[in-house]
Amino acid sequence: MASDPTSIAVDNDVHAMVKEKEVTMAPVLTNQDEPKLGITIDGGIPTEEELHTLRRVPDKIPWAIYTIAFIELCERFSYYGTTAVFTNFIQQPRPEYSATGASYDIENGQAGALGLGQRTSTALTTFNSFWQYTMPLFGAWIADSFLGRYRTIGWALMVDIVGHLVLVVSGLPPVIKNPNGSLGAFCVGIILVGVGTGGFKPNVNPLIVEQLDLEKMVIRTLPSGERVIVDPAATASRVYHYFYLFINIGALTGQLGMVYCEHYVGFWLSYTLPTIMLCFCPLVMLWGRRRYKRVPPQGSVLGRATKLFFLANKGRWSINPVKTYKQLHDGTFWDNVKPSRFVASDKPKPKWMDFDDAWVDEVRRGFNACAVFLWYPLFWLCYNQINNNLISQAATMKIGGVPNDVLTNLNPFALIILIPLLDIVVYPALRKIRINPTPLKRIAVGYFTAAAAMIWATVIQYYIYQKSECGYYANGVFPDGTERECANVDISMWAQSGSYILIAFSEIMASITSLEYAHSKAPANMRSMVQSVALFMNAISSALGFALVYLADDPLLIWNYAVAAILAAVGGTMFWLQMRHLDKQEDQLNLLPTGQVGDTKAEAKWENDERSEVRV
């Protein structure tokens, strides 16, 4: 990983970049009455000393952000409401007395439809996760290059609604009587939903923070007389925390409601209600069409960044690996491809180089952010267990009259409690004593917390095998293919609570912070793309999950959770060792000026065209 060219210049020439930009990015505006003290007036950029001594506070959050958060709430209600019942829909057989797949008796019955078993269930839900997090790469490219974020979200929601309607069809009583037909409709549905999610997720994440007014750190004096730094990073962190809160309100209500619909009415209702909720999203988007700030697309920005990266690599590779390493890490990787260098050396610039030096620095910072995300598949491997294997684990335990998949709601419930607690109590308390929980420190904590969650699940699985009358075949399927009714073990499924709560805390540390980090480090015209790279790490994790699907069944489930724990711990350790140097450069990277790309007249024309649209 250390020699990966995607992280070049973020490792060795970032200091030179910061020094080069110090004069332009951080001028000190001093009071005329106190010029010798270097005290920055309100609205001025803080000095180096003030960065280390003044408390940091977030800015006010505009009301438009809450409407976008509501859109995300509805979309996540639809997504998690449907996926919450996928495991039972695929794995469990339809009760003989039920036409809808409902069990009607949670204490003694199990809702189901297709009866394809745990391994098939894990494979299909893992594919769904892979697909949902691969498509954002395409959706981000469309938004950054052609349609812009707002329009891409609008079209994506239409496709998403169609996909949910197909899922409704797959769960109708006449359809589930034919498992093959139901499975076919189900697969078409999740593919369409994945396309819709791919256009929605990478674009709504940056759209919400683009509604903020402040882009650089400034000094402000509070009514109490205290001088503080209003930090856009702290503001973005707060926005993403509450954005994630809205996500989990949607997830909690969707999951909790739909698992009871599944058990008492049928799968068709578990798919219909989320579809209705999703239909609110386009209505709110139409309402905000002239109210949201929108960044115009700037053509093939990704193409420019890719060409810039390969140009920077030119002449640095050799058959001698030592020479290659030295040339890639000589501190000039990005500086040599700045437009000013071509002008100074009288070399002709490539025709596609229609940007300034500042944009090159932004691209360097964006590649750095992508390097930060490279270890995330090992984190998501732990998180993905709550969508399949932990649900199946609960089905072998004492469920006490509630659905086996209801415990997944502990995850969003814990998030709803922990997010305000951290934002209102913990983080302000740390800032008051001048401790700044930087993004990279929080991410590292997230890895180790996820590993702890999997250790918890490993211990639970060990005791299930010890107490089950079927031993290491607690699901009742034996190696010779015979099946047997195995009584649920005398362990309450609420013993799983620790895993769900620890995963929730790890999400706050790693998942929320990845949204924040992707936004703050990406060039303004590539935010959707960098967000999609962060999301794509979940797809890689799902592919890794496919490789480990052999462990997702008796008698290997102990190893399933143990391997996830080990990989997360290793990932957290390697992440910190590789990225800790960036932690010290957090403020300097955030203070880089915004670069210019392409024709500013074309951008102005796009904005005028947007204003001339008929208001809805």
Structurally, the chain folds into a number of domains equal to 1
CATH number of the structural domain spanning residue 54: 1.20.1250.20
Contacts 24+ apart (CB under 8 A), 607-610: 607/296, 610/294, 610/296
Give 93's strand partners. Answer: 113, 114
Q: For residue 195, is it within any domain? A: yes
Q: Name the residue with tokens 């649209």.
A: 613
Q: For residue 569, is it within any domain? A: yes
Q: What is the pLDDT of residue 346?
A: 76
CB under 8 Å to 605, separation ≥6 — which residues? none
Q: What is the pLDDT of residue 108?
A: 60
Q: For residue 490, is it within any domain? A: yes
Greatest Cα pair distance, the chain, in angstroms, is: 88
Query: Which pair of structure tokens corresponds to residue 203?
Result: 């674009």
Q: Is the peptide bond prior to 555 cis by the omega test (within 30 degrees of 0)?
A: yes
Q: What is the rounded distance in angstroms from the CA atom of residue 333 to the CA atom of residue 132?
A: 35
Ordered alpha helix ranges (H), 348-480: 357-372, 376-383, 389-395, 410-421, 427-432, 439-467
Host domain of residue 389: 5-302+337-595
Q: What is the pLDDT of residue 30?
A: 40
Pairing of β 218-221 and β 55-57: unpaired
Q: What is the rounded distance in angstroms from the CA atom of residue 476 to the CA atom of residue 396?
A: 9
Q: Name the residue with tokens 């302000």.
A: 428
CB under 8 Å to 369, separation ≥6 — which residues? 517, 518, 521, 522, 530, 533, 534
Tell me which DSSP letter residue 28 carries.
-
Q: For residue 326, is it within any domain? A: no
Q: For residue 116, is it within any domain? A: yes
Q: What is the rounded distance in angstroms from the CA atom of residue 75 to the CA atom of residue 387?
A: 18
Question: Helices 64-83 and 179-209 meet at what angle, rounded to 10?
Answer: 160
The per-residue b/e assignment along 418-454, b for 16 or more CB within 10 angstroms, e otherwise, is: bbeebbeeebeeebeeeebbbbbbbbbbbbbbbbbbb
Angle subtended at Cα 406 by Cα 400 and Cα 408, rounded to the nearest 5 degrees: 130
Q: For residue 600, is it within any domain? A: no
Handedness of CA 152, 158, 161, 165 (dihedral sign): negative
Identify which of 24, 134, 63, 47 has the alpha carbon closest to the alpha carbon of residue 536.
Answer: 134
Q: What is the rounded distance in angstroms from the CA atom of residue 383 to the CA atom of residue 353?
A: 41
Query: Which pair of structure tokens corresponds to residue 186?
Result: 């189900």
Query: Quick check: 512 and 240 in contact, CB under 8 A?
Result: yes
- Residue numbers of the chain with a pLDDT score lower than 70: 1-40, 105-108, 298-300, 590-593, 598-616
Q: What is the pLDDT of residue 25?
A: 38
Q: Name the residue with tokens 């996820």.
A: 450
**What three-state secondary structure class fits 55?**
strand
Q: What is the rounded distance in angstroms from the CA atom of residue 87 to the CA atom of residue 113?
A: 10
Q: For residue 270, is it within any domain? A: yes
Q: For residue 214, is it within any domain? A: yes
